[in-house]
Structure 1
Amino acid sequence: AFGEDQSRIRKDHAPENMAILRHIALNLLKHDKTEKVGVKSKRLNAGWNESYLMKVVGL
């Protein structure tokens, strides 16, 4: 969902740190029940719509 295969983050603990952040983001999107669409659509919507992003993050 986040293009992990194309990621160039390979040094030290960066891959593990990014995996944790991706997991958190994925969980936030999965638990959002305001829209009945897939995770990919929610991710794109959060990228385009700042108010939806703030709603998903909980701010």
Structure 2
Amino acid sequence: MRAHWGVENQLHWVLDMAFDEDSLRYREGNSAANMSIIRDSGLNLVSAEKTAKVGVKIKCLKAGWNDDDLLLVVTGQAPVGEGKT
């Protein structure tokens, strides 16, 4: 029983806080399952990025605002060129 609530508290709480999962209403066909896969993949990518010491929601916002941050989240590598080292 505790293991179930551990998953609920760690994974689902993060999904709800970062992606506002509880308010989403996907009902037609496979849309709920498809969006769940996309959100889980996004959470995995954002969680793997360790250079920024901020939460998942802030990392998502930064990746949406800045192409360099997006590249860092998606590929795990900082952009090369334009005077950066």
Question: How far apart are residue 34 of structure 1 and its match?
Answer: 1.3
Matching residue of 2:47 = 30
Question: How far apart are residue 5 of structure 1 and its match?
Answer: 2.4
* 1:48 and 2:65 matched: yes
Question: How far apart are residue 52 of structure 1 and its match?
Answer: 0.6
Task: Name stretches of at least 5 consecutive residues in structure 2 with no aligned partner.
Answer: 1-17, 78-85
Identity %: 49
Distance in 2 (CA, whole Å) between partners of 1:14 and 1:47 is: 23
Task: Name stretches of at least 5 consecutive residues in structure 1 with no aligned partner.
Answer: none
CA RMSD of aligned residues (A): 1.4
- The TM-score with structure 1 as length reference comes to 0.87
- The TM-score with structure 2 as length reference comes to 0.63
Determine helix, strand or coil for the equivalent of 2:19. Answer: coil
The higher relative CO (CA closer than 8 Å, separation ≥ 6) is in 1
Structure 1 residue ranges, 4+ long, deviating more than 6 angstroms after superposition: none
Amino acid at match of 1:4: E
Larger Rg: 2
Matching residue of 2:34 = 17
